[in-house]
């Protein structure tokens, strides 16, 4: 459950900073990919990806 909270927080953070759009946010929260694409590039959303888990 903690993973889901951290993942959602990372996605919401990108949304608030206008790095991704609302539709991308909804899809990211629903499907939980490692990275998402925004208008200015791609961003890692998965909190454990950089740790190498």
- C-alpha separations of 32 from 11, 24 in Å: 10, 11
Structural contact between residues 26 and 45, judged by C-beta atoms closer than 8 angstroms? no
* Joined tokens for residue 3: 């993973």
pLDDT score of 51: 65
Tokens read off for 11: 């996605």
Q: What is the pTM of this model?
A: 0.84
Do residues 7 and 46 make contact, with C-beta atoms less than 8 angstroms apart?
yes
What is the average pLDDT across 9-19?
96
Residue 47 banded pLDDT, cuts 50, 70, 90:
confident
Rounded Cα–Cα distance for residues 45 and 34 (Å): 6
Tokens 């200015």 -> residue: 40
């Amino acid at each position: 459950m903690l993973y889901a909270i951290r993942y959602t927080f990372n996605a919401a953070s990108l949304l608030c900073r206008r790095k991704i759009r609302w539709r991308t946010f909804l899809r990211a929260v629903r499907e939980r990919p490692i990275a998402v694409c925004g208008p200015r590039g791609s961003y890692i959303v998965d909190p454990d990806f950089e740790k190498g888990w």
